[in-house]
Structure 1
Amino acid sequence: MLRSRCGAVLLKFLCLVVLSATALAHKKVTKGVTYDGRSLIINGRRELLFSGSVHYPRSTPETWPQIIAKAKHGGLNVIQTYVFWNVHEPVQGQFNFVGRNDLVKFIKTVWQQGLYVTLRIGPFIEAEWNFGGFPYWLKEVENITFRTDNPPFKYHMEKFTKMIVNMMKREKLYASQGGPIILSQIENEYNMIELAFKEKGKSYVQWAGNMAVGLKTGVPWVMCKQNDAPDPVVSLLSSPSFLQGTNNQRVLWPKNVFFPFFFVSVKINSCNGRNCGDTFVGPNRPNKPVLWTENWTAQYRVFGDPPSQRSAEDLAFSVARFFSKNGTLVNYYMYHGGTNFGRTASSFVTTRYYDEAPLDEYGFQKEPKWGHLRDLHSALRLCRKALLWGLPTVHTMGKDLEALVYEKPGTSVCAAFLTNNDTRVAATATFRGVEFYLPSRSISILPDCKTLVFNTQRITSQHNARGYHPVKESHRDREWKMHQEKIPRISDTYIRSMAPLELMNLTKDRTDYLWYTTSLELERGDLPMRHDISPVIEVASLGHVMHAFINNIYVGSGHGDKIEKSFAFKKAINLKAGTNRISLLGMTVGLPDSGVYLEHRMAGVHSVIIKGLNTGTLDLSTNEWGHKAGVAGESLRIYKQHGSHRVGWSNSKGSEGKPLTWYKVSRPESIPEANRKPSCSL
C-alpha cells in the first residue's frame, strides 16, 4: 500500500513537472537553435534557409550594407562567411580587426538588416585564400604538422577558435543570446585529406568536434564534406535544453529539475558541390537535417583560365532539386565574391573572385542569375508548410519524369515538384488530371499541387551586360614618370649559401619576390668560338615564376600554373670573358591553400646549370649564391604618396617597356597636392 502511494505521488510529481515544462514552453519562446531530421529550428520556428557567402575582407565596410541589402532583396535570409585567421593574426599575438577585417561590424551589419549568419571558423578555410587562411608564423612553430592529431597544431587552433567564439559571445551574437549566428563550422572539407593521416586523422576529427561543442555556443556546429562528423555527448544538467519529442514536439525542461540522463549534441555533416540534391548521400544520423553549405555559382578563376560560366537555369534546377528531396538550407558559394585585395589570393588565383556570382565583383546584380534565383526563392517559400511538415512521396509520370509531393495528412497543405530529368527532350506530363509542359532538365513548382508558379528553365527576369567606357578625364593632363629597379649584385645580398635556398622560408609571406644572384668567371677559351652557337642556361624551379637577368640584361621568364607549380626554364644566353653576373628573380603567386602537409610546401629556384661551354656542362647549383627578399621599391613603399619621394623619377624617353620599371602617373603641379594621387606598378 505504501509502495503504491509512493508510486502515485511520484507519478503525480512527474506529471506536474511535464505540465509545468510544457506550460513554460508555450508561454515563452526560448532563444537558440535546435534541429531534427527535417530542419533547423530557430527560436522555436522551423525555417527554409536561403544563404549566400559574402566574405568581409573581399569587399569594404562602405559596400557591406549595399551588398547585404541586395542579397536580402534577392530572397536570402542568411549570410555565410569564413573567419580569416591570417588577416586577424598576421604576427603571432598581434591582432587586426579593423577596416575590412572588422568581423564584428560585418556580422552586426548583417544583423541590422534582419538576416541570420553562418560563421565558418575553420580555422582552416581553403577559400582560394592565401595559405588556406593559416598565418605564416604557424608554419614555423616547432614540430608542427597542420590538421592532424599534433599537439602544437591543436594548441594554436584551439586558442584561435576560442578567441573568436569568446569575441562573438561578448557581443551577444549567437542566436542563443538573441543574435544572428545560427550555425558555426569547425574544420573544412577534411575528408579530402583524412586518409593521409590514418588513425591520427580520425582522432583529430573527434578532437575537433569535441573541442568545438565544448565551447558552448548554443548553436549547432557543422562539418562540410565530413561523412564521420562526430557526435560528442553533452550533459543535460548544465543549462536548460530542448529535447525532441514525438510528432516534432519540443519540450523545455526547467533548469532546476534533475533527470539522470544525457542527450547527444549532434555535429552536422553537410554537402559541397553543384548538384547536392542527387550527389549527397545524406546526413550520417537520421536526426540531422539536410544542409548544403556550398552550391558553387560558377568557378573561381586562375591565371590562364577562360571566364567561368554556370547558367541561371542550371543553378535553379539544382536548388529546386535539393529542396524537393528534403533539403532545407542551401548556401550559394559565392553569392558575392568580391576582390582578392593585395596578396590575399592563393596560388595563381586572380584578383577578381567569383565575378560570375549573382552579385559580381563590384556588387552589381548579374542578370538573369540574380533575378531567376530571387523568383525561385519566392516559389519555395510558398511551399514552406508542405516542405517542413508534410510527408514526402514520389510518383513516376513517365520515362525520366517524376513528381515529388509533400502533403500534410488531414489538411489542404500540399506542394509538388514536377521533374523532367531528360537533358535534351521536353515532355508533357499529367499530374492529378492536369497536363503540364515540362522543358528538358527542368523542375516545375506547384505550391498548392495545382498552380504552376515557377519552372527552372523559364526565365522571366531581365538580362544585363556589364561594359566599360574610358573616362577621358583620367588621361587628361597626366604626367608619367619612371623609376628603374636596381638588380642586386651578390655583394648587395645579406643571406649567402652554397646553393639556392627555398623561397618561402626567406620571404615569410611578407613579399612575393626573392632575388638569387651569383657570379661566374670565364676565360675566353671557355666560350664557344662559333658565333652561331651560344651557351644555354637551364633553371629548374619549384614555382611559381622566375625572371632571368644575365649581366643586368633581361633574358626571359618562366612560370608554372595552378596544377603544376614547378617548371623548367631554358634559354640561349650571351656570356663574356671575365665576370658574369647571373640574377634570378623568383616569385610566388600566392601561397597554396589545400592538400596535406601545407607546412612543407616549397617554391623557388632549385638548380641552375650552363650548357654549351667548351669546358662542358657547368653546374652552378653548388656555387655561392646571395639572396635578397623583396624588391627595393616595395620595401620603400614608393607606390604610396608618402613613399614615392624616396627614389628618383625620370620622364626621359627610352625607358618605357624595360623590365623592372616602376611607373608613376599624377596630375600637373597646378592641381592641389591633396587631389594628386600617383599610382605605381612594377
Structure 2
Amino acid sequence: MPPITYEYFDRQYYFGGNYDLIRFLKEVHNAGLYAILRIGPYVCAEWNYGGLPVWLRQIPDIELRTDNQPWKDEMQNFTTLIVDMVKQAGLFATQGGPIILAQIENEFGNVETSYGDAGPRYVNLCSQMADSLSIDVPWIMCQQADAPQPMINTCNGFSGCDAFTPNDENSPKIWTENWTGWCVLILHFSNWGSPDPHRPAEELAFQVARFFQTKGTLQNYYMYHGGTNFGRTSGGPYIVTSYDYDAPLDEYGMSAQPKWGHLKELHASIKLMEKALTYGEVEEHDVMMLWSFQITKYSGDGVNPACFLSNQNSKLNATIDYEGRTYFLPAWSVSILPDCKSEVYNTAKVKTQTSLMVKKRNTAMEASEVLYWSWRPERLGTSAKGFGGTFTVNNLLEQKSVTLDESDYLWYTTRQKEEFTLSVNTTGHILHAFVNGRLVGSSQYGLAGQLNFTFERKVWFNPGRNVISLLSATVGLQNYGAYYDLAPTGIVGGPVKLIGENTTLDLSNYTWSYKVGIHHNTLLLDWMVR
C-alpha cells in the first residue's frame, strides 16, 4: 500500500477512483478470496522511492526506517489511518471480512545490520505499534528473523522457502512473496535496456509443491496478476512502467500459458489434500541411495493419507518404489499423490495447452477510422536560455531535495564566457546540456547499475556572456536498500567544469539558477494542485 498514492501531499488524502481501497477489499470479499493487508508504510514494490512520498524529507530531523521519532510519528499516523478505515468498513476476518493477515514494514531484516543498534530497536517499535492497534488478526513481518512475538516472521524469495523455519515453534510457516518472474541466475526486473525476466512454469510449480511438502501453510504469489505502474510510479531506477512480471495473468488480465494452466492444476491437486495437510501428522523419509529424493506422508485418525514424492536433483531422473508401486520422477520435480497411491500431478509434466487460437472478425480496418496519433512540442526555449529560474544557490544541489518528486526534471543554469570543453559529473539519471538555448548533447544513464557518469562535449561560446543550462532527469527514484532514501540524484556536488587548453574552471560553486520541471510537466502539476 504505497502511501504516496494516498497522501501525495502532507495530510491530504485521496481514496477515490483506482485508489479506492475499501471498494477493492469488498470486491476481494465478493470474489470469495482472502486478503493480506500489507500496510508498510515502506513497501519497496519497485515503486518510486519505495512508495513513500518525498515530502517526508522536509520534516526536520527525520530519518526513514529507523528508531527516529519523526519517522515513527508519520508511520503511526498512516498505519492507524488505514487500520481505522478498514475496521469501520468491517473488513477484517474477525468482522466477517476477507483480511486474514496484516503486515507492518517490509523486508527490513535484509538491511537491518546497516542501522546498527537502532535496527533492532526499530523492529521492536514496529511490533509494539502494530500490536497496539488491536486488529484481531495476526500481524506478519516478512524477511524479519528477529520479529518479536506476536509478530509472525515470514519468507520472501524465488526459492528456499521450503527450508524456512519460523522463529517461534507456534508460528505457521508462511511464504509471503513467491516471485513468479525473476530470472534464476540474475535477479532483476524489466529494466530499460535489459531483457525481460522469465521463470519457467515447471520451476515455479516445483517450489510451491516443495513448500507444502515441507509443512508450509500459506503461499502468496508475487505477482499472480501482472500490472502497470502508471505515470511516474516506477522506481528502480530504470524499472519500466510495465509490471507484467511474467505472471500467470499478464498486465492485461490475459492468462499466460502454460504457467497459468499448470499452476491451476497444481492448486487443484493440493486442494485434494486439504484435510490431510491441515490435520494430518507428518512422516518424512529420505531415500539413502538417492540423497535428493524425499517422501512425505500426511496421515492420522480420520484422515485419508496424502503423499508428496520429490526429486531435488536438477539433472537426474529417478524411479522409486513406494508401498508396492513404482513412480517415475523427472529431475527437479514433485509428484502429488492425494491418496498415497495414484499420481495426479507432477510439477515437471506440463499438460496444459500452451497456446489458444480464437477466431475473431478482423475489425482493424473499421477501427482505423477512430485511431489517431497526437503529439505536442515541449517548449524548452526560455528555460534552455536561462530564464525562469525560481532561486539561485552558489553550489550544485541534490535533485530530489529540490523537486520533492513533483517532477522528474530539474534545470541547473549558470553563465560563462570563452571557449571550453563542458564536463559534467552527475548521479543522473539523464542529462541534456544547452548553451545559449542550443542543445549541445545528451547523455543516457550509466549502465550495469552505475548511476554516476560524466558528460563531456566541446562547446563554443559567443563573445560576452553565455548561458549554460543543464536539464537533469530522473527515471524512477531508488526504492530499496539500506538508507535508500539518501541515494543522491542529479548533479549534486558535480563537479561541473569548463576545460580549456591552458586552464580549467570549476563551476560547481558558481551561482546556479534552479527551476523544477518542464513546461507540460508544470501544467500537469498545476492541474493536480487545483
Q: Is the 8 A contact 1:348 1:562 kept in 2?
A: no
RMSD: 2.4
Q: Which residue of 2 aligns with 1:274?
A: 158
1:374 corresponds to 2:264: yes
* Residue of structure 1 equivalent to 2:94: 176
CA spacing shift, 1:590–1:320, aligned 2, 3 Å: same
Q: Distance in 1 between matches of 2:163 and 2:298?
A: 25
The amino acid that maps onto 1:181 is I
Match of 1:434 in 2: 325
CA 1:590 to 1:412, structure 2 compared with 1: closer, same or farther past 3 Å?
Answer: closer
Q: Is the 8 A contact 1:429 1:437 kept in 2?
A: yes
The 3-state SS of whatever aligns with 1:272 is: strand
Q: Which residue of 1 aligns with 2:246?
A: 356
CA distance in 1, matches of 2:524, 2:93: 44
Q: Name the structure 2 match of 1:342.
A: 231
| Contact in 2 for aligned 1:149/1:203 (Cα 8 Å) | yes
Pairwise CA distance, 1:504: 0.8
The question of whether the paired residues in 2 share the 8 Å contact of 1:537 and 1:570 is answered with yes
- Structure 1 equivalent of residue 454 of structure 2: 568
Does the CA contact (< 8 Å) of 1:386 and 1:406 recur in 2?
Answer: no
Name the residue aligned to 1:483.
Answer: 377
Partner of 2:439: 554
**Which residue identity is paired with 2:310?**
T
Match of 1:285 in 2: 168
Aligned to 1:667: none
Equivalent of 1:635, from 515, 522, 528? Answer: 522
Match of 1:49 in 2: none
How far the C-alpha of 1:464 sits from its partner, in A, is 2.9
Residue of structure 1 in register with 2:400 after alignment: 504
Alignment of 1:389-428 (within 5 A): 389-397=279-287, 398-411=289-302, 413-428=304-319
Scaled by the length of structure 2, the TM-score of the pair is 0.91
Pairs within 5 Å for 1:442-461: 442-461=333-352
Question: Which residues in structure 2 correspond to 1:95-110 (within 5 Å)?
Answer: 95-110=13-28
Indicate which of 391, 397, 415 corresponds to 1:519: 415
8 Å CA contact 2:90, 2:96 repeated in 1: yes
Q: 1:494 to 1:349 in 2, by over 3 A?
A: same
Structure 2 residue runs without a partner (length 5+): 183-188
In the TM superposition, residue 348 of structure 1 has moved relative to its aligned partner by 1.3
Cα–Cα, structure 1 residues 108 and 478, in superposed 2: closer, same or farther, change >3 Å?
closer
What letter is aligned with 1:386? Answer: A
Distance (Å, rounded) in 2 between the aligned partners of 1:480 and 1:360: 27
Distance in 2, Cα, partners of 1:389 & 1:477: 59
Contact 1:392 1:404 in 2 (8 A): no
Partner of 2:503: 616
State the distance in 1 between where 2:525 and 2:177 align. Answer: 41
Q: What code does the residue aligned with 1:589 have? A: V
Alignment partner, residue 69 of structure 1:
none
CA separation of 1:367 and 1:584: change in aligned 2, threshold 3 A: same
Partner of 1:86: 4
SS at match of 1:413: strand
Q: CA deviation at 1:155?
A: 1.0
Quote the residue 1:315 is aligned against.
204
Structure 1 residues 639 and 358, CA gap change in structure 2 (3 angstroms): farther
Change (3 A) 1:177 1:411: closer
Aligned match of 1:128: 46
Deviation at 1:407, TM superposition (A): 3.4
Distance verdict in 2 for CA 1:481–1:435, change over 3 Å: closer
CA–CA separation in structure 2 for the residues paired with 1:504 and 1:426? 54
| Structure 1 unaligned spans of 5+ | 1-82, 232-265, 528-534, 641-682
User: Residue 646 of structure 1 corresponds to which residue in structure 2?
Assistant: none
Q: Secondary structure at the match of 1:408?
A: strand
Distance 1:108 1:411, change over 3 A: closer
1:527-606 matches, within 5 Å, as 527=419, 535-558=420-443, 559-561=445-447, 563-605=449-491, 606=494
- For 1:366, give the aligned amino acid: A
Structure 1 window deviating more from structure 2 (423-432 vs 164-173): it is 423-432
TM-score scaled by length of structure 1: 0.72
The residue number in structure 1 matching 2:186 is none
Alpha carbons 2:417, 2:461 under 8 Å: kept? no
Q: Deviations over 1:508-565 (max 9, x none)?
A: 111100111122122xxxx5xxxxxxx4221100221111122322222222357232
Moved more, 430-439 or 473-482: 473-482
Work out which of the residue numbers 325, 335, 343 in structure 1 matches 2:214: 325
Q: How far off is 1:600 after superposition?
A: 2.8
Instruction: Give how far 1:400 is off.
Output: 3.8
Matches of 2:2 and 2:371, distance apart in 1: 42
Structure 2 counterpart SS, 1:204: helix
Q: Which amino acid aligns with 2:388?
A: D
- 8 Å CA contact 2:180, 2:223 repeated in 1: yes
Corresponding residue of 1:22: none
Task: Say whether the 8 Å CA contact 2:226–2:250 is kept in structure 1.
Answer: yes
Give how far 1:636 is off.
2.6
Contact conserved, 1:401 with 1:429, CA < 8 A, in 2? no
Single out whichever of 130-139 and 371-380 deviates more from structure 2.
130-139
Matched-pair contact (CA < 8 Å) for 1:184–1:219: yes
Going from structure 1 to structure 2, the CA distance change for 1:478 and 1:391 (only over 3 Å counts) comes to closer
Taking structure 1 as reference, are residues 507 and 451 closer, same or farther at Cα in structure 2, changes over 3 Å only? same
SS at match of 2:300: coil
1:156-167 aligned within 5 A = 156-167=74-85
Between the two proteins, the alignment pairs up a number of residues equal to 511
Contact 1:394/1:402 (8 A) holds in 2: no
Larger radius of gyration: 1
The amino acid of 1:569's aligned partner reads F
Deviations 1:240-288 (A, max 9, x none): xxxxxxxxxxxxxxxxxxxxxxxxxx211000001134442x0001111
